[in-house]
Amino acid sequence: MIIVDISWSIDAAMTAYKDKKMVNVEQIKSFEMHSVRESSLRLGAHTGTHIDAPAHFLVDGATIEHTPLSATVGPCVVLDLMHVDEAITKEDLVACSIKPGSRVLFKTKNSLRLAHDLFDYGFIYLAECGARYLASQKIAAVGIDYLGIERNQSGHETHLALLSSGVVIIEGLRLANVQAGEYFLCCLPLAVVGAEAAPARAVLITL
Amino acid sequence: MIIVDISWSIDAAMTAYKDKKMVNVEQIKSFEMHSVRESSLRLGAHTGTHIDAPAHFLVDGATIEHTPLSATVGPCVVLDLMHVDEAITKEDLVACSIKPGSRVLFKTKNSLRLAHDLFDYGFIYLAECGARYLASQKIAAVGIDYLGIERNQSGHETHLALLSSGVVIIEGLRLANVQAGEYFLCCLPLAVVGAEAAPARAVLITL
C-alpha cells in the first residue's frame, strides 16, 4: 500500500489566502518548566488544506461537522490540467473522464508554488461553467491545488454552483508530486461544530 | 463501503483533559457584515481525537508532522475491553489476537462517557506492562477511547514505553457505536510543524 500525503504542513509562515497570516503555534508547557511539551494552536478555518462547507456562502447552509465523509473518502481521479493558464472551463473538463459520484482533483500550475510563497493573486481557478458542469455530472467532491477555487467573482458563482448542488469543495491540496490518474482519496476535516470550514489532512492511497 | 466516524466533534463545551477548556471558535466574518461566513479556531494540540508525537514526552522526540501516516492508515483491530475496571494490563492483551505491524484500538468503559461530560479522573488506562507488551509485539499504533492513555504516572512510563519504541499513540477515540473486530483505519492528524501533538479525524472503513 502506498500512501501519499497531499496536504500542506501548517506553520506560521505558510502561504495564506491574500497573505492574511492567521496561524500561531504557542508552546504552553516546556521540558524546562513542566517536563513535558504542550502546545496551543490558533488558525483560520481555511488554513492550508481545508474543506468549505455550504455555510461558507449559503445563509442556511450546513456547517462542516455535517459534511458527509462518504464525499471525501473513496475513489478519485487526479486530472492533469497543467496546460490551463487562467480558468478551468467546461471545455477542459468535458475532455476528461469524470464519473458520477467520484471525487475530482485538479493538478494545475498552482502546484508549482512553494509552501511559503507569497499568495498568488493570479492562481488557476475553476470557472463558473466548469463548476456547473461538475455539478451536472453529480460528482461527490472537487479539489484544487490552491487556497481558493474561485477568483474575482463578486457573486461567488463557482462556490454557489458547487455548494448548492452538494458538491464538497476541497481547497489547498498539494499535488506537485502526484501523477494524474486514479487513486483512493481519504480527506478528513476536523469536525468543528458550527464552523463554515475546517482544516483537513488528505492522502491518496494506492492499494 | 461503510465509513464510521470515530472522532469527537470539536466545540467549546466538549470534555477537556482535566477540564482545562481550550477550544474557541470565533466568527470573524458574518453574512450580515461581509456576505460570507469565516471562522478562526483556537484549540489545544491535545483536543478531542488527537495523536501524541514523541516530542510530547521525549526531549529529542520527533514532532507531529513527522509521524508516519503508514502507522495510522491501514488494517486495525478494535478490542472489546469493556470488562476492564481500572487498567489494561499485559494479561488482558495476551488474551487477544494482536498482529505485528497492526493498529490496536481499545474499546473500554470510557466509551460510555458522553461528549460533554466532566473529565473522568478515573478513566480506564493502559498500564505500563500493557504498553511494554504492545511495544514488544511491534504494533504500529495504539488508540484509546479517552483523552489520555496513562493515569497518575509521574514518570509517564506508559507513554515512554510506547513513544520510545515508535508506537504511535491515538487518544480520544469514540468507539461506543463500534463492534469489536477488524477494520481499515484512517486516522489523519493535522501536520502542525514543530508541535508535540495535533488534532486528528479518524474513521473506520469496511470495504
Give dist(CA B102, CA B203) in Å, integer. 16
Rg (CA), chain A: 17
Interface-testing mutation among B9, B21, B37, B51, with chain A (most A C-beta atoms within 10 A): B37
Nearest CA in chain B to A187: B188
Residue from B125, B196, B130, B140 nearest B161 by CA: B130
CB contact under 8 A, A11 and B194: yes
Mean pLDDT (whole number) for A55-64: 97
pLDDT for A97: 84
- Option in B40, B190, B202 nearest A44 (CB): B40
Distance of alpha carbon B129 from alpha carbon B144, whole angstroms? 16
pLDDT exceeds cutoff 90 at A73? yes
Tens digit of pLDDT at every position of chain B (207 positions):
999 999 999 999 999 999 999 999 999 999 999 999 999 999 999 999 999 999 999 999 999 999 999 999 999 999 999 999 999 999 999 999 899 999 999 999 999 999 999 999 999 999 999 999 999 999 999 999 999 999 999 999 999 999 999 999 999 999 999 999 999 999 999 999 999 999 999 999 998
ipTM above 0.90, yes or no: yes
From the candidates A201, A204, A205, which should be mutated to test the interface with B, based on the most B CB atoms within 10 A? Answer: A201
pLDDT at B87: 98
Using DSSP's 3-state secondary structure scheme, residue A143 falls into: strand
Which residue stretches of A19-173 are H helix?
Answer: 31-34, 69-72, 90-94, 128-136, 157-163
How many residues comprise chain A? 207
Exposure on the CB side of residue A21, measured as CA atoms within 13 A? 11
Size of interface A-B (CB pairs under 8 A): 156
DSSP B112: G
Residues 185-204 of A with CB under 8 A from B: 186, 188-203
Alpha helices in chain B (DSSP H): 31-34, 69-72, 90-94, 128-136, 157-163
- Strands A141-144 and A168-171, sheet pairing: parallel
Smallest Cα distance from A75 to chain B, Å: 11
- Give the DSSP letter string of A2-53: EEEE-SPPB-TTS--GGG----EEEEEE-HHHHSS-EEEEEEETTSSSEEE-
Q: Which domains does chain A have, with CATH numbers?
A: 2-11+45-206 (3.50.30.50)
DSSP label at residue A91? H
What chain B residue is nearest to A12 in terms of C-alpha separation? Answer: B193
DSSP codes of every residue in A180-195: SEEEEEEEEE--BTT-
- Contact residues, B window 145-184, toward A, CB-based 8 Å cutoff: 156
pTM beyond 0.95: yes
**Residue A18 in grid coordinates:** 491574500
A115 CB near a chain B CB, below 8 Å? no
Q: How many other CB atoms are found less than 10 A from the CB of residue B93? A: 23
